[in-house]
Structure 1
């Protein structure tokens, strides 16, 4: 059985998250998207944990207790747990080292990656760096190796983040054998956010559960990663964080990492950082499917200012009524059927599938854009 899983989201208790990031809208969003396994996010938060414990989850959806915490050096860690009770135990284990673990969905914990990982492993949980290459709050923003952060504790996974795909980590020696996950890091249940990146795993079970999902990741039975073209991420290229002008590494160094145009800070991009870290031969990884959210394809098709306009939302809903979930529309629905439903949308999906995508890379905190042709 194949499952599409998104194991990194946030709740209404995290900063900059939608107040509608509640269990029921999240489960509805999974249906729309075609996600069959979703992380709770923020499971250390006592109220959020209680809300999930009281939620009735449909039999064909799996909810995995997950959280993201910020440790020393501002490194963000993604944690997967076997059950809600373990979430309570981990909160108790980390609370002496955190001032906001009961208030913020993504708490700050004054411990090293090694100490956090040790406590997670003691509870049979899994841990690895979240959005590992992001230049502000990640493993490779502060460290040059896994061991520098996690010491003798192994990592069980690595989340690539929106600005990277599998190729960015495939030549980094100490990531050999570490499963790569792609997740949305969604702060909203809107279709353009939830499930915008996902991981497809294979499970040999008729009625899979949380334990099966964790076992599949441990065993590396990942069939496909799916997510943005890396160029769409807002930190893909080295660029000024104020005016977003891109620079090569040599130019950034020549300017002392200060933009000559507006004196803004130049931030090293994910592409350049991954290349710095790459030293070994390329390791084989599951297929990576570059996808674009259907809402954004519809926006380009209808030429509107936003994918959340009523015009876009109406076409999105009609499309799902006709063909099922979003992932199926993007990857499986016959183009001729889509064209019969809506000629321009069918043409746009065909262009996307055939790789007729022109990318305008993001950097410095500004998302990249694309054109279909």
Structure 2
């Protein structure tokens, strides 16, 4: 079966995460969004495990996969997927001697190399790979020029692209040949424009179970990645982290990576970094569908301050009443049926499906925006 999967979120036990991130709210949001598979996030944290356990015992519509993120001694973040919480318990025991936050932080900092962390993850039977691999902070390619530079001889099982990249950014990097690409939300809030804002469509053999989902990822049975236009990500372009002025790579180098306007640090953008690492002809990858969350589309059309205004929410609810979930609306619902609910949204989704949008790229920590032609 085809299943939509978002495998990277966070819990209230991580920094800068909404206290509303609770299992019951996440499962409700996942159903409205159109997800079939949801990662728990922060599965290393004992209290977060306890919150999830009642729901795992009675899994029905949503398959919940234990997942977590770990920061290594070079600040690189790693995404870990496992079949059971028990594997995260084993991994926590292995890493605990080298971490002061492993029992308190949902995303613990571990004073070990990426290679050793990956070795321990494989020892307990988990999958591992770099989280948001191109982001200029806390990511593989922020600190290393190759996979081996971080992981040594240890194999990676996956690579998460991050909000500022799509699969084209990694398709010409020789190191990544044969490595499955994931696109996940990294959500810090259960709001519908956050959960599933990026997702993977996977081909699961047999019934929907955690083991079959992991087998699917391991085998690279991903039929589509979906998510932001890379330009919408907040680190897509090289830019100052204070005033967000954007620079070409050559200009940044001339200014010695300091903004001439305010002295702020200029941070290399994902697009420039991916271009540096790319070589030769892009290898084959599943299609990548660029989407914008429905709430954000409605907000833009209505000129509203938020997708949560009363009017925007009423329009959103009318769509869910008609189509049951958001992903189907964005990806496959017939335009005439969408038009019957809201003509403007139909025009916007038509433009998105045909890439007829104007992008205003983000950089330096400021999200990009879009407008319709």
TM-score normalised by structure 2 residue count? 0.98
Q: How does 1:19-168 map to 2 (within 5 A)?
A: 19-55=19-55, 56-168=57-169
**1:181 — aligned with what?**
182
RMSD: 1.0
For 1:102 and 1:191, how far apart are their aligned partners in 2?
29
For 1:115 and 1:280, how far apart are their aligned partners in 2?
31
For 1:143 and 1:356, how far apart are their aligned partners in 2?
35
Worse-matched range after superposition: 24-33 or 53-62: 53-62
SS state at 1:74 partner: coil
For 2:319 and 2:231, how far apart are their aligned partners in 1?
27
Post-superposition CA distance 1:9-30 (Å, at most 9, x none): 0011111111010100010111
Ranges in structure 1 where 5+ consecutive residues have no aligned partner = none
Aligned residues: 372
Displacement over 3 Å in runs of 4+: none
SS state at 2:74 partner: helix
8 Å Cα contact 1:74-1:137 kept in structure 2: yes
For 1:133 and 1:94, how far apart are their aligned partners in 2?
25
8 Å Cα contact 2:197-2:293 kept in structure 1: yes
**1:18 — aligned with what?**
18
Q: Please state how far the C-alpha of 1:57 moved relative to its aligned partner.
A: 4.3
Post-superposition CA distance 1:20-45 (Å, at most 9, x none): 10100010111011010000000000
Ranges in structure 2 where 5+ consecutive residues have no aligned partner = none
Q: Please state how far the C-alpha of 1:354 moved relative to its aligned partner.
A: 2.4
**1:359 — aligned with what?**
359
8 Å Cα contact 1:53-1:84 kept in structure 2: no
Q: Please state how far the C-alpha of 1:58 moved relative to its aligned partner.
A: 3.7
SS state at 1:72 partner: coil
TM-score normalised by structure 1 residue count? 0.98
SS state at 1:212 partner: helix
Q: Please state how far the C-alpha of 1:82 moved relative to its aligned partner.
A: 1.2
Post-superposition CA distance 1:98-125 (Å, at most 9, x none): 1111111111011000100011000110
Q: How does 1:237-248 map to 2 (within 5 A)?
A: 237-248=237-248
